[in-house]
Amino acid sequence: MNTESNFLINRIKAVKYAAKGFWILITSEKSIIAQVIIGIIMTTMGFIMHISATEWMFQIFAIGLVLVAESLNTAIEKMADFIHPEYHERIGFIKDISAGAAFFAAIFAVIIGLIIYVPKFI
């Protein structure tokens, strides 16, 4: 096989692994499932409230940001648990920082949601 074929095969495999990870996240991780449900609710609200294209862009960005942050937090926590299954203060610190990053994303998503929706109710 030539290098172009190998490249294409490797890309297809990478997409397959990514899709598998996506499926694992949305079917088994409670924090991701909760965020997906919130994303669906906010998307429904967007249709009901007829938000603008710009508001859609910010809302979709916020939903994606939270899902990515929660996913990375989950990966970091799983890796930390694998490396050091019993409690360790430094592992706990790392996991807290990871959760803090996801919390940052959630805070900004709430702010974006408030900016979009509060004026529609006033």
Annotated binding site for ATP: 17, 29, 77, 86-88, 95-96
Would you call 89 helix, strand, or coil by DSSP? Answer: helix
Question: Taking CA 47 as the corner, what is the angle to CA 60 and CA 64, rounded to the nearest 5 degrees?
Answer: 15
**Which residue bears the tokens 């249709």?**
47
Single out the catalytic residue among 4, 55, 70, 89.
Answer: 70
Which residues are annotated as part of the binding site for a divalent metal cation? 29, 77
Return d(Cα 62, Cα 36) in angstroms, integer. 12
Determine whether 89 is an active site residue. no
Return d(Cα 73, Cα 81) in angstroms, integer. 12
Which residues are annotated as part of the binding site? 17, 29, 70, 77, 86-88, 95-96
Q: What is the largest CA-CA distance in the chain?
A: 64
The structure tokens listed for 83 are: 């490396």
For the annotated catalytic residues, the residue numbers are 70
